[in-house]
Amino acid sequence: MGSKRIEVVSESMFYTLMAFLHGEYSGVEIASMVEKLTKGRVRLGPATLYTILGRFEEEQILMETRTEGRKRIYRITDKGIQMYHDEHERLAQCLADAATWEEESK
């Protein structure tokens, strides 16, 4: 079945992409990494996690490299890295805009 492109990169998606920049991981490892990275602020519910993994794999943002017992191990693709950097740039721009605006408001 053909799929629609992911139009909005949500917070959970962004942190998932970020976590994969360090290497190859399973879904469970990613969930705990994100929770640790955000000091518990962002938690990936199991359905959210597996929906992200499923859609990212479908969109070739992630690819499965191997299985370890029950776990499927993924790595980020070049498309995924690009997606991360695009979103990073957008968020950085947002923060820069906010800083400029706050500076001008003083």
Partner 1 sequence: MKYCYKRPTFDFYDTVAMECWLSDMAKKGLLYTGNNLVYFRFLKAEPQNICYRVEPTTNDTLEPSDEMLSAYTDAGWEFVTNQGNQFFIWKSTRPDATELHTDPIVQSESYHRLCKKLTRTAAFTGLSVIAIFAIILGGFLVSDRPVTLFITSPLYIFLAVFELFIVAQVVQQARSALRIKKMLAGGFSLNHKKDYHKEYRVYRIMNVLSLLFSIAILVTALLTLTTDWRKSTVDVAEPLPYLSLDLIEESKEFAWAEPAFMFDSDIDYNNYVDYSWTPLVPDHYEISQRGAPQSHKWPDDSGYYSPSASTEYYRLAFSVFAPALFDELMELHLWKNEEYTIYEPDAFDRTVIAQDEYMTHLFVQWGKQVVYIRYHGYADLGEKLELLANVLSSQ
Task: State the residues that interact with partner 1 by CB under 8 A.
Answer: 1, 3-4, 6, 8, 10-13, 26-28, 31, 42-52, 54-55, 70-72
Could you count the other beta carbons within 10 Å of the beta carbon of residue 76? 24
At closest approach, how far in Å is the CB of 54 from partner 1? 4
At closest approach, how far in Å is the CB of 100 from partner 1? 26
- How far lies 93's CA from each of 30, 60, 73, 88, in Å? 26, 26, 33, 8
At closest approach, how far in Å is the CB of 30 from partner 1? 11
CB-based contact 27:56 (threshold 8 Å): no
**Hey, which residues does 71 pair with through a beta bridge?**
68
In the bound state with partner 1, the residue whose beta carbon lies nearer, of 23 and 45, is 45
